[in-house]
A and B are shown apart, each in its own frame.
Chain A
């Protein structure tokens, strides 16, 4: 089997998305495509799957062929029945977000079995599904088979999707950021699984990601997607791009700071931001939720101490209770037992959320978004100053939130939080969806806030690299318990808890 695409152009409303692209995949190969988020990598996936609406997208190529023995398929074909036939036999796709890629109203097993109804081959359908679920590493396949998607975890869902994509025994698998929304340990497991399957079944994989370490680790070779072009692994643009990305990565790893405030000359802000000293201490604290008479302990007997001016990191896998801890510190979680002492009002503690897309009202202009908070808190500065502070163009005051990119939105949410002149800011996975270079600049911004404005920072994340870059002290949470705490200087020490080591290993993507 092989795929050969030459001179592929894709455009939408006369705007070019892809210019003269070349791609070659042979069976059993894992080929990567690297690109920043929003650059149009997904459009390319959709082209290969034939999901592009051809009344909107214009695609042309000198040749775009899938060849398998006697079967040849042309990707520029317009015939729906040819496409269905092709998808039925040769190609599968895994999407980024496993929570939306399964139909919420149909049991997982039935969604899998459906394939056999489509191909009219119903013999032993159920057994085959269960075998496949076992193959992708699900411990209790029969239970998962009979579960609705909302009843199983994100990692399990992604495994079900992978199992589903293997039903047809495909020749090529397209994985569009297959692990971005999973927590680090699951991420690593799922990727290892894909590699294993690829080897076992001689399956070609097109792995698309914005994580360069991941691609370097898992792919034989990968393309760089930049300025509407796919760059081959021999070109200089490819090499330069990788080099610059690696540079940033190493800056984060080696704590090379790059202060934004020093660059634009805001270094003396302490007068405006007169901060009060405070102290928060938590002792023997537990938070539990009751669900159907089953008590679930989100936080279990934790000890915790924050002094003003600190930069504290909290790390853990998904479902470990780190978000609950963040909510508790903001006063959003009132149902706790234990000691929670603080001499700071909840008004002075602010939270920056994970998803910058849904945390703004899309109908209100940016100027009003910030001014609203300034008015409520009687803060002594203007929205203009705040935008400058976080490094946004002052033109943006008259824009709507939807006109900003993901990174800019996250800067805006920092500006909004600053508008209430807080003493403590909690970042709950605030940077997890961002590209590396944007992440780097915002990490520096957060550090500036701490150093020049004396704002205390709590940074909740599953990315230990960012925490190591930003914070002085780290708490590792697992299943609601703090299993490890240490200064970031000692992060590589041998005394670290086993779970910390595991997190570090799955974060780094180093062979």
Chain B
């Protein structure tokens, strides 16, 4: 049964690939945690005092210090933090998590299986980091996905047009526009776009100058979805990748068009346009996919300027705010999230490569 064994080896390979990637990503995450943790503790600031503000007194400071382990030596704090993050953790007394499963207990010490615990925020009183992140994560994901889709939907056809009309007027025009788009800083384009389309022509477009994906009722009772607020940030965010991806598509297509297989396809009677669509495009997409995955990961980790200017409650805005208040658990949580995004996108990228090019094998 050769086919079945072939299938088995394929699954075997994929599993091996997956576990190896998982192992590497855990190492990457550990490195990120370590570096950020120690960097944060180098900073000359007292989080306990910052939390209490003007109302600090000695007892309260000591209380907070013992609650958040600030009185312990640095390496102990680090181990405690890792213990909290790890899905399998050790505790001297039954822990306070909502959900956990006991694996092993001895006297009052237990080893438990749980979700990674990111602790509670210093700044936002009594809110867990998880709940804060979950509040703004959907905003960022929606914005990033819509921007990258918009960029790809426009840039790939533009690149094809450029390649088709190489050195003609259309090619030069699109190239100039895309280079302008590439070099436009996002804070400037954000201000320009919100000024023109929401302020000047607001009467016509009916768009808001600022606003997040969910906005609150006037009486603060209910959150509701406001899709139209997505339009302007999406356009702004996609301008730069649009320029880059257009040029990339054009150049890699022009490389492919010179190949013999394109001439062979044309000798079958395909015209230039169809031979680009059916033959050259797929082979030239790998560089476009690489570049756009980089942009996408960058967008997921937050785009501070755009989120600030449009008042979009995203990860980038959250990160900057938490840095200002030295809110260590929140910063750490966001950075871990960003690192995880990058890792996931890289794994997906490898899979996309194998789909695009049969010569690339998962190995």
Question: Which A residues fall within an 8 A CB radius of B?
Answer: 49, 51, 55, 80-81, 84-85, 87-89, 91-93, 95, 97, 100-106, 111, 114-115, 118-119, 148, 150, 161, 164-165, 167-168, 292
Q: Does B283 contact A (CB under 8 A)?
A: yes
Per-position 1/0 for B276-310, Cβ under 8 A of A: 00110011000000000000000000000000000
> How many Å from the CB of B87 to the closest CB on chain A?
36
Q: Are A92 and B259 in contact (CB under 8 A)?
A: no
> Cβ of B279 and Cβ of A106 under 8 Å apart?
yes
Q: Is B269 an interface residue (CB 8 A)?
A: yes
Contacts of B265 in A (CB 8 A): 103, 111, 114
| A-side contacts of B266, CB under 8 Å | 49, 51, 87
A55-B167, A103-B279, A103-B283 as given contacts; A165 in contact with B259, CB under 8 Å:
no
* Identity of the chain A residue whose Cβ is nearest the Cβ of B279 in the assembled complex: A103
Q: Whole-angstrom distance between the alpha carbons of A168 and B263 in the complex?
A: 16
Partner of A88, one of B264, B268, B272, B359: B268
- What is the CB-to-nearest-CB distance from A99 to chain B, in angstroms, rounded to a whole number? 9
Whether A161 and B283, one on each chain, are in contact in the complex, defined by CB atoms closer than 8 angstroms, is: no
- Which of B260, B265, B357 counts the most chain A CB atoms within 10 A? B260
- Say which residue of B260, B268, B271 sits within 8 Å of A168 (CB atoms): B268
| Inter-chain contacts of B283 with A (CB < 8 A) | 103-105
Residue contacts A-B, CB under 8 angstroms, 24 given: A49-B263, A49-B266, A49-B267, A51-B266, A81-B271, A85-B269, A87-B266, A87-B267, A88-B269, A89-B269, A92-B267, A93-B263, A95-B260, A97-B260, A101-B264, A104-B359, A105-B282, A114-B278, A115-B269, A118-B269, A118-B270, A148-B359, A165-B267, A168-B268
List the interface of chain B (C-beta within 8 A of A). Answer: 9, 167, 259-261, 263-272, 274, 278-279, 282-283, 356-359
Q: Are A102 and B263 in touch, CB under 8 angstroms?
A: no
Contacts of A97 in B (CB 8 A): 260
Question: What is the bound-complex CA distance between A164 and B266, given in angstroms?
Answer: 12
- A101 adjacent to B357 (CB under 8 Å): no
Whether the pair B270, A84 counts as a contact (CB closer than 8 A) is yes
Q: Nearest 6 A-B pairs (CB), nearest first? A: A88-B269, A101-B260, A103-B261, A100-B260, A95-B260, A148-B358
* A residues less than 8 Å from B272 (CB atoms): 80
CA distance A165 to B267 in the complex (A): 8
Q: Which residues of B contact A148 (CB under 8 A)?
A: 358-359
Chain B residues whose CB sits within 8 angstroms of the CB of A167 once the complex forms:
268
Q: How many whole Å from A322's CB to the nearest CB in chain B?
A: 25
Residues of chain B with a CB closer than 8 A to A161's CB:
264
Q: Which of A106, A148, A167 has the most CB of B within 10 A?
A: A106
Residues of A within 8 A of B269 (CB): 84-85, 87-89, 115, 118-119, 168
Chain A residues within an 8 Å CB radius of B263: 49, 51, 93, 95, 101
How many Å lie between the Cα of A101 and that of B274 in the bound state? 17
Most buried by B among A49, A97, A101, A105: A105
Does the CB pair B267–A100 fall under 8 Å? no
Cα distance, A103 to B260, chains bound together (Å): 9
Q: Which residues from chain A contact B260 at a C-beta distance below 8 Å?
A: 95, 97, 100-101
Q: Which A residues are in CB contact (< 8 Å) with B167?
A: 55
